[in-house]
């Protein structure tokens, strides 16, 4: 089947449908099953963009039940070569505050049982994830966030937990003691699967609160988390509108050549 084409993909929440102009909904069939929802394909500043809510249109898929392979492969079928992956996250460090954005450069995987590769054989394929996020996209995100006056941390490590439960205080203190900045439930295997398909991927971590064991920080209320979440979404929309037209048309980054020499 011939699908409409886009060059940039966005995974996010249902509040971002309004970002796209001249938008159409597309149902995509993949070898890995159905993605979380139909994909909306439209334009931002003249660039063709595909949007997919990773948790589904009604947020019906918890993190451990998302079909990450179908979601990422759907983007591939639509011609996407770059994916922006914003997500709500907790902070593990006092200096990373609610309302801040973190453009992560590393992840630590603490999930289990998730389908996390496209290469199940018969050809053995080892794709490097030493630097899992696209350096070109990361720099554009950092530069545009600064121009917009958004408090942004230009690097950080996100530890990805299985979910749907949150961490105990002991687990949170352990993660923080490693120096990791951000905690989340969806970055793995989403980011790595993009790399396996030679798609550039940029994480934008939207900090809503401090995790349970953050030293010297009192737990926040649910009302405060919702307030910060809504403020972050408005800032993210401005950032995406600034970032997408600034992405270069050509790619010559590590992501575009990830499969070179990977098959054995």
Residues labelled catalytic:
209, 211
Write the DSSP string, 105-159.
Answer: SEEEEE--S----S--SSS-B----SS-S-HHHHHHHHHHHHHTT--EES--EEE
For residue 198, give Cα distances in angstroms to 18, 128, 140, 205, 248.
28, 11, 19, 22, 16
Helix (H) or strand (E) holding 77: helix 68-77
Handedness of CA 248, 202, 59, 112 (dihedral sign): positive
For residue 93, give Cα distances in angstroms to 178, 181, 219, 260.
10, 6, 13, 37
What is residue 180's three-state secondary structure? coil
Ramachandran sector of residue 158 (left: φ over 0; alpha: ψ -120 to 50; beta: rest): beta
Backbone phi, psi, residue 197, to 5°: -100, 10
Nearest to 214 by CA among 124, 93, 84: 93
């Amino acid at each position: 089947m011939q699908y409409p084409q886009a060059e940039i993909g966005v995974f996010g929440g249902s509040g971002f449908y309004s970002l796209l102009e001249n938008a159409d909904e597309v149902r995509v069939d993949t070898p890995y099953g159905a993605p979380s929802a139909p994909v909306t394909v439209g334009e931002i500043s003249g660039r063709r963009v595909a949007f997919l809510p990773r948790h589904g249109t009604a947020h019906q898929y918890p993190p451990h039940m998302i079909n990450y392979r179908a979601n990422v492969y759907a983007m591939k079928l639509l011609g996407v070569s770059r994916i922006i992956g914003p997500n709500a996250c907790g902070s593990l460090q006092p200096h990373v505050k609610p309302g801040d954005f973190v453009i992560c450069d590393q992840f630590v995987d603490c999930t289990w049982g998730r389908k996390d590769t496209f290469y199940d054989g018969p050809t053995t394929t080892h794709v490097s994830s030493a630097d899992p996020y696209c350096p070109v996209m990361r720099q554009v995100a950092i530069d545009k966030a600064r121009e917009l006056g958004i408090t942004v941390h230009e690097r950080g490590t996100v530890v990805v937990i299985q979910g749907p439960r949150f961490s105990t205080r002991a687990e949170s203190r352990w993660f923080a003691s490693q120096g990791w900045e951000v905690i989340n439930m969806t970055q793995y295997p989403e980011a790595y699967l993009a790399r396996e398909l030679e798609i550039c991927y940029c994480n934008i971590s939207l900090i809503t609160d401090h995790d349970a064991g953050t030293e010297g920080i009192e737990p926040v209320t649910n009302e405060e988390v919702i307030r910060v979440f809504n403020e972050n979404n408005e800032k993210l929309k401005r950032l995406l509108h600034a970032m997408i037209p600034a992405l270069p048309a050509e790619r010559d980054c590590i992501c575009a050549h990830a499969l070179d020499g990977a098959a054995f």
